Amino acid sequence: MTLLDKTQKYAELKIDEKSIKVPVSKGTLGPDVLDIRSLYKETGLFTYDPGFTSTASCDSNITFIDGDKGELLYRGYPIEELAEKSSFLEVAYLLLRGELPTKPQYDDFCSRITRHTMLHEQMLNFFRGFRRDAHPMAIVCGVQAAMSAFYHDSTDINDPWQREVATIRMIAKLPTIVAWAYKYSIGQPFAYPKNDLHYAPNFLQMCFSVPAEDYVCDPILSKAMDRIFILHADHEQNASTSTVRLAASSGANPFACIAAGIACLWGPAHGGANEAALNMLKEIGTPDRIPEYISKAKDKNDPFRLMGFGHRVYKNFDPRSRVMKQSADEVLDLLGVKDNPTLQVAKELEKIALDDPYFIEKKLYPNVDFYSGIILEAMEFPTSMFTPIFALARTVGWLSQWQEMISDPNIKIGRPRQLFTGATHRSYMPLDKR
């Protein structure tokens, strides 16, 4: 790097005999970045970065991750503090607006969310159009995309008020959509939202209440669900968030953009991690088989991998996991593990992982997916519901990122380049001569 003036740093890039200076941009936290926007114009070259692991696709002031330190900040606030002291709707306000709300602002925001939780009644017919055995995630993805057909008065992305209305509607209605997808999949009648309940307990009652009896949500379960929502609300420029941004760059309506994010999240390498962790626990079966699977995990020649341990981004520890462990302990104390072999395996495996030198050395700590899977299993959610719940929580993050992008006057349609490795120019030969 060469300091050319007092305010701007440049990196010098040499290609053959040609040399160009690339600006170095500095954020408030994290690595500096090389601004290569003019690279092709000046050199005729593209960069090659599969997976965009070394490429900043945007500038953002919403969420920051330091994987080496094990740090996750929402608008500058550590995730541990928010999960311990805040509520999901307060965190939603923070992500959307940039600051924590005052009491009047918070009350107004909660009131608006509460009064938009019902779905258009004609959407009942849309749900019933799915096969009874449809995966809940398929239903959530389809219904979310269809919202633009029912709420077309909030699809104009150039109107700030319509953007705001669409945002409120999606945060409010996703719990209803997810809960109804679950109810439909198990053949139970839909439960309507109740305005006297907060966000998390309202979602739980829509999932588990039945007309035949009253439903009372335990505060411990409500708190655990609220924490799951907070801890999954946003995670910087991950695959699904990048998908939302890419879709938004074309000018697509907000409901379609969030549907694109949901579709991306459905992938097992992304939103399905907690389901994979739980399936692993079920594969182990009983605590007495844990040593066998520990040995398999340590064997480099064995394809078995421990799911729910370590993290691609966090190289030290997942800051979300410590808070989630607390909730997992509280939920299991409430509901017990005695009659659930999966949860028995989870508790024993957690104990071993925290004490075993191999796990400690490899930094294979239980992550947020491990604990969230345990909690949802204890609540008696089927594994098919894990990713829809993840989508419900992440919607507020997607919307925050979408709003930030749409408000940028310099927005450009996403257009990644490629390294072409196909056939070169050739001439067409008629069918009868081939």
Identify the CATH number of the domain in which residue 33 sits.
2.20.28.60
Residue 142 maps to a domain: no
The 3-state DSSP class for residue 14 equals strand
What's the confidence (pLDDT) of residue 349? 86
User: For 365-396, what is each residue's pLDDT tens digit?
Assistant: 888 888 888 889 889 999 999 999 999 999 99
**Predicted confidence band at 306 (pLDDT cuts at 50, 70, 90)?**
confident
Q: What pLDDT is recorded for position 401?
A: 97
Smallest Cα–Cα separation from 119: which of 243, 231, 218, 255? 255
pLDDT tens across 88-106, in order?
A: 999 999 999 999 999 999 9
Task: Compute the distance between CA of residue 67 and CA of residue 363 in angstroms, rounded to an integer.
Answer: 12
Give, in degrees to the nearest 5, the angle at Cα 27 between 23 and 31: 80
Backbone phi, then psi, for 189, in 5-degree steps? -65, 150
CB 109 within 8 A of CB 89: yes
**Which amino acid is it at 95?**
L
What is the domain range of residue 40? 2-56
Which pLDDT belongs to residue 6?
57
Q: Is residue 419 part of a domain?
A: no
Query: Quick check: is 289 in a domain?
Result: no
Token pair recorded at residue 146: 């269809």
- Total domain count, the chain: 1
pLDDT tens string 133-175:
999 999 999 999 999 999 999 999 999 999 999 999 999 999 9
Count CB-CB contacts under 10 A for residue 418: 8
Is 195's pLDDT higher than 90? Answer: yes
Residue 363 lies in a domain: no
Decide: 172 and 113 in contact? Cβ < 8 Å: yes
Q: How confident is the model at residue 107 (pLDDT cuts 50, 70, 90)?
A: very high
Question: CB 138: neighbour CB atoms within 10 A?
Answer: 17
Task: For residue 28, tell me if it sits in a domain.
Answer: yes
User: Is the pLDDT assigned to residue 5 strictly greater than 60?
Assistant: no
Does a structural domain hold residue 52? yes
- Quickly tell me which residue has 């390294």 as its tokens: 419
Q: Is the pLDDT of residue 346 over 90?
A: no
Please indicate, yes or no, if residue 191 is contained in any of the structural domains: no
The pLDDT assigned to 1 comes to: 39
pLDDT digits (tens, 9 = 90+) for 251-280: 999 999 999 999 999 987 787 777 778 888
Written as six digits, the tokens of 348 are 């024993």
Instruction: Determine the average pLDDT of the residues in 296-307.
Output: 86
Entry field: residues in the chain: 434
Residue 51 resides in a domain: yes
CB-based contact 21:2 (threshold 8 Å): yes
pLDDT mean over 286-308: 87
- % the chain with pLDDT above 90: 61
Active site residues: 311, 369
| Pairwise pLDDT comparison (328 vs 186), residue with the higher score | 186
Averaged over 418-422, what is the pLDDT? 93
Cα 79 from Cα 64, distance rounded (Å): 10
Type of residue found at 421 = T
Q: Report the pLDDT value the prediction gives residue 4, as an integer from 0 to 100.
A: 43
What is the spatial distance between Cα 363 and Cα 366, in angstroms, rounded to a whole number? 9
| pLDDT value of residue 426 | 93
List all residues 6 or more positions away from 292 whose beta carbon is below 8 Å from its beta carbon. none
**Is it the case that residue 317 has pLDDT exceeding 80?**
no
Phi and psi at residue 302, to the nearest 5°:
-95, 130
In this model, does residue 224 exceed pLDDT 90?
A: yes
CB contact at 8 A, 312 and 374: no
